[in-house]
């Protein structure tokens, strides 16, 4: 099975060398909501949990961790984006174990832009009407854990962006692998490839314009403009973590992560998480972005992040059945940071 792991790792590294870390292509991709993490637990570590993420949140970081759950997990997430603009991320996910070593998942994420007033050149103060863009994506994932503690997973995601009269749709594939070893399964290594898929193009009646007939017939014609297509923001994550187990109730996890972006500068970072009896957890991380620190071209999320989680068992007989609350804060280059809040149910 180790040969399978090394083969998968070689494929991921090969794709990364061919496509990642090219700042000259910055701005050529779209659908950047695929890089916005709505889940609080992993957001508290700047989404650098490639090696040890589990359950529903694995759909957004490394789908291989999907199968590392007890039986069923349900997760709801809400967070702000560009604080002060009333843009919010809403997410829902469910994962279900099938058999001994496999799991399926469904995850949904949308952006809420609120009501935006319609303005025209004749009525720059507003027409009295409002509109709201609809950015939505849905993912179906599958992961399997082999006997020697290697997990592999794949996820297919549909992406939709639309207004009332303009829309674009595309597909993306995520794939990942996690490897767990050590006397107490305390060393973890992970690789994930995300957002590899079709080009997207906007189309619809909103791109149509009225103009005079080219043959001078004297009547107007409707001309349809063609929109340029754009790529998806593909990336490759490589991470590792180590659990320092202190007694039976205390755990300190140290982790590091490297992200190779196809359409922007690469990123590197690390973090720590402390857990008491796996019921109370605090975490913090720092992510560094290579290249320009210009506010316009630099990524939104950089620098420090922090978060906390609190979980309680629902019954004394089965302590794996739990309900929990997650919170995260991330520094942003503008808009004074962002906040994530999540509620999880583990059965």
Tens digits of per-residue pLDDT, 283-322? 999 999 886 666 666 677 888 999 999 999 887 777 778 9
Say if residue 11's pLDDT is above 60: no
Give the pLDDT score at 83.
77
pTM: 0.86
Burial environment of residue 218 by CB neighbours within 10 A (0 to 12, 13 to 18, 19 or more)? exposed
Give the pLDDT score at 293.
63
Tens digits of per-residue pLDDT, 213-257? 777 666 777 777 888 889 999 999 999 999 999 988 999 999 999
Distance CA 157, CA 135 (A): 13
The SS3 of residue 9 is helix
**Chain mean position to CA 252:** 25
Distance CA 126, CA 120 (A): 7
Which range (100-104, 125-129, 140-144) has the least confidence? 125-129
What's the CATH number for 2-346?
2.40.160.40
Residues 324-342, mean pLDDT to the nearest whole number: 89
Which has the closest alpha carbon to 61: 287, 272, 270, 259? 259
Say if residue 346's pLDDT is above 80: yes
Give the pLDDT score at 60.
94
Give the pLDDT score at 18.
44
Helix or strand (DSSP H, E) at 290: none
């Amino acid at each position: 099975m180790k040969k399978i792991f090394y083969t998968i790792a070689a494929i991921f590294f090969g794709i990364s060398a061919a496509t990642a870390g090219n700042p000259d292509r910055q701005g050529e991709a779209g659908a950047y909501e695929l890089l916005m993490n709505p889940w609080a637990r992993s957001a508290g570590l700047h989404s650098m949990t490639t090696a040890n993420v589990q359950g529903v949140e694995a759909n957004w970081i490394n789908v291989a961790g999907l199968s590392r759950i007890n039986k069923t997990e349900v997760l709801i997430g809400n967070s702000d984006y560009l604080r002060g603009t009333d843009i919010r991320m809403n997410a829902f996910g469910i994962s279900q174990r099938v058999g001994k070593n496999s799991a399926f998942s469904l995850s949904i994420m949308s952006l809420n832009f609120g009501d935006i007033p319609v303005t025209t050149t004749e009525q720059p103060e507003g027409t009295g009407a409002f509109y709201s863009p609809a950015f939505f994506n849905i993912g179906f994932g599958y992961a399997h854990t082999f006997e020697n503690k290697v997990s592999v997973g794949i996820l297919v995601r549909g992406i939709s962006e639309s207004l009332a009269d303009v829309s674009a749709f595309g597909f993306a594939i995520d794939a990942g692998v996690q490897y767990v070893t050590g006397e107490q399964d305390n060393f973890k290594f992970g690789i994930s490839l995300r957002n590899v898929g079709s080009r997207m193009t906007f189309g619809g009646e909103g791109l149509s314009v009225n103009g005079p007939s080219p043959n001078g017939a004297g009547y107007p014609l409707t001309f349809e403009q063609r929109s340029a297509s754009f790529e998806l923001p593909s990336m490759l994550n490589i991470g590792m973590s180590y659990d320092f187990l202190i007694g039976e109730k205390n755990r300190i996890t140290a982790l590091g992560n490297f992200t190779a972006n196809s359409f922007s500068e690469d990123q590197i970072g690390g973090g720590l998480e402390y857990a008491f009896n796996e019921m109370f957890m605090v975490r913090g991380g720092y992510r560094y972005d290579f290249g320009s620190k210009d506010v316009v071209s630099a990524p939104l999320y950089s620098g420090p992040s922090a978060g906390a989680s609190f979980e309680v068992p629902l019954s004394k007989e089965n302590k794996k059945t739990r309900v929990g609350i997650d919170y995260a804060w991330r520094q942003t280059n503008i808009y004074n940071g962002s906040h994530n809040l999540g509620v999880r149910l583990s059965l």
